[in-house]
Amino acid sequence: MVTLHHYLILSAMLFALGAIGVMFRRNLIVILMSLELMLNAVNLSFIALSRYQGSIEGQVFVLFIMVVAAAEVAVGLAIAVAIFRQRGTVNINDINLMKW
């Protein structure tokens, strides 16, 4: 029998993997992908909670999260393309102008 805990644990593992990717990868595009992974982990926990609490609000929120994620990906990839044109790289170690 699959309980809510199974889904929440799976979601937490996916989120942790995404966070590891954001922290340890140096490629801007892979970092954006890891960010998507984290958003999807949150979506999974929303859907699981919506199912086990018997309410539809979770699924509506997931729709909004998907819209925000799509907008974020579009703008993020546009920034990546612009940076690549400017600097010739998407390695974030080389993009350190606004790092303290």
String of contacts with other proteins for each residue 48-77, x by CB under 8 A: x-xx----xx-xx-xxx-xxxxxxxxxx-x
Would you count residue 43 as binding other proteins (CB under 8 A)? yes
Would you count residue 99 as binding other proteins (CB under 8 A)? no
Q: Of residues 1, 96, 99, 100, which one binds other proteins by CB under 8 A? A: 1
Would you count residue 92 as binding other proteins (CB under 8 A)? no
Alpha helix stretches (DSSP H) within 1-100 = 4-24, 28-53, 57-87
With tokens 């929120």, the residue in question is 61
Would you count residue 35 as binding other proteins (CB under 8 A)? no
Would you count residue 8 as binding other proteins (CB under 8 A)? no
Would you count residue 14 as binding other proteins (CB under 8 A)? yes
Question: Of the two residues 77 and 94, which places its CB atom closer to other proteins in the complex?
Answer: 77
In whole angstroms, give the CA distance from residue 89 to residue 59. Answer: 38
In whole angstroms, give the CA distance from residue 63 to residue 46. Answer: 11
Of 78, 94, 67, 76, the C-alpha closest to 35 is: 76
